[in-house]
Structure 1
Amino acid sequence: MKRREMFKLPLVFASSAAAALVAMPAHAAAKCEGEGTPTQFIPKTPKDPNPLENELKKYPKCPYCGMDRAQFHHARHLVQYADDLVDGTCSIHCLSISLAINLDREPKAIYAPDNASSEAVKPLINVDQASYLIGGKLPGVMTHRGKTAYGSKEAALAAKEIHNGEIGDFAAALTASYADLAKDTLMIRKKREERRQHMMKKAG
């Protein structure tokens, strides 16, 4: 099934659809006339066969919300598409947007932060290795429901003992991101409008 069709599936089938996305081999998808990612949504950075080298310097800001990826290193994600175009996002929320609008661009690799690491900046790991704590008391980035990645299921289970929530793989976390998208978008718009109003009052 092509990803264009897969993202049209109802949410009841979203889990299997997300799993299919992860499992798809990276290759150039055949296009019909008029298909393809609209120009304004194509990743703007040069092709990058080694996106993890100096990753935060090359991709400092999320292209979808403008947030600082170093500040939100614990939530950031990165997708390398089959044509070596890269989107470095602040969160799985914004990653889900990238995957949805780049329908004809197959992912070569997707990376998530390992929150089990003690490093000051959480290292990125392939999402195939990640376990996510979905929900619970840990705050999310760009979402009301946290989706926190760990490098092992054991680490995720240990976090669950403290913060509650549910354990899932990347497909489950991505499915949750799409399920939360409408509520999260309304939440983000409300917060940004409140921030604008506050700044206008301070300036005026």
Structure 2
Amino acid sequence: MLPAIAIVGGGLPLAAGLALAFSYQGTDQVAVAFFGEGATGEGAFHEALNLASLKKLPLILVCENNLYAASTPFEVGSPVQRVAERALAYGLPGETIEGNDVLSVYQASQRAIKRARGGEGPTLLECLTYRFCGHSRSDPAHYRPKEELEAWKKKDPLLLFQSYLLKQKIATQKELELTEDKIQEELKEAWAYAQAAPLAPLKSAWEDVYA
């Protein structure tokens, strides 16, 4: 799994390369690349899709579409309104899902994994989600309407999944509260541990750096 990195779209060719290696090795491993919708305007995105589709590589491309590339609305920089539509040009399936719905993401991921391991090639998953803060610490995010932000807050992944657990009677409100209390305690302990830990030596900055 390759997360989004500072170089916009930079992880996509790497993920395609990993998938190519898995294909040569004959394993059932699947490479997964995460990136924002802004990366779909980079050449690396198109190169990765082209190679992966051509070679039917075991690759899942997960676009976290949070509607804004830094401060630019997606529709301003794209002639299509859905990232998933771009998959058609490269002969692979593209699917748009609710990225804040844990179960929808899980089910779509299972379909993509099955396809990849079955030798059918890559899948592009567009997960519709939202960024509740600015793009960086210096970004006050004034470009977003307050109404939009408030509407998305109601679709927080934790709130949606809690609602599902309660409706399906998988958990009670009391159980959810106890779980949250436990998590808060774990976070406090982790914070205290990190604060008390010594700084890493400078030479560690060069560890696991290959290029």
Tell me the TM-score range normalised by the shorter chain. under 0.3
Larger radius of gyration: 2
Structure with greater contact order relative to length (CA < 8 Å, sep ≥ 6): 1
Name the TM-score, length of structure 2 as normaliser. 0.26
Name the TM-score, length of structure 1 as normaliser. 0.26
Which structure shows the bigger proportion of residues in helix conformation?
A: 2
